[in-house]
Amino acid sequence: MKRNHLFWLAGIIGFLLDQATKIIVVLSFDELGETIALWENVFHLTYVINPGAAFSLFAETNGTWLRWLSLAVTIGLIVYVWRSPRLPKLEQLGYGFVLAGAAGNGLDRFLFGYVVDFLDFRLIQFPVFNVADICINIGIICLILVNFPFFQGSQRPRGEQNHHDES
């Protein structure tokens, strides 16, 4: 676990932040669809539930398969990183953020059959989303960036050990 600690750190912090914000929204709003304008017609907090995937994709389907997909991604990432040699820092963060999002939304799907979304950017007519969705997107960006030569030069190769830095 020590050798890829940024993975665990990003995963745990992202998961806890996602769950905490969803709990706050559920306890703070009286009913679905209720909204609070933080910046009128630009950014609102809006309480909605989403039985589908990110940005309400597949919302019209049963959604059971999304539960199992979230579980598979969560378990797959944990096993992969647990068994991997030390990964580059950006890759650890990428996988950790994807883990946070998959686990956060996955837990909601197993417990409730839907996820709570509340971040509502109205200026660009963007679908309502949550912290888990942000984590997944940050993770994907990290995993894309780690493959660019600019970032590869600053990362240690897989498996290279440096006993002075336990990242």
Catalytic residue among 30, 117, 120, 165: 117
Told to judge if 108 belongs to the known catalytic residues of this protein, a careful annotator would answer no
Please report where in the chains the tokens 């993770």 appear, as a residue.
139
Supply the DSSP symbol for 33. T
* The length of the chain, given as a count of residues: 167
Tokens of 139: 């993770």
Asked whether the CA dihedral 72, 77, 78, 80 is positive or negative, the reply is positive
What is the side-by-side order of every strand in the sheet holding 115-121?
Answer: 35-39, 43-50, 115-121
Tokens of 24: 């706050």
Told to judge if 120 belongs to the known catalytic residues of this protein, a careful annotator would answer no
Of 135, 138, 143, the C-alpha closest to 80 is: 143
Catalytic residue among 18, 108, 120, 133: 133
| Active-site residue list | 117, 133
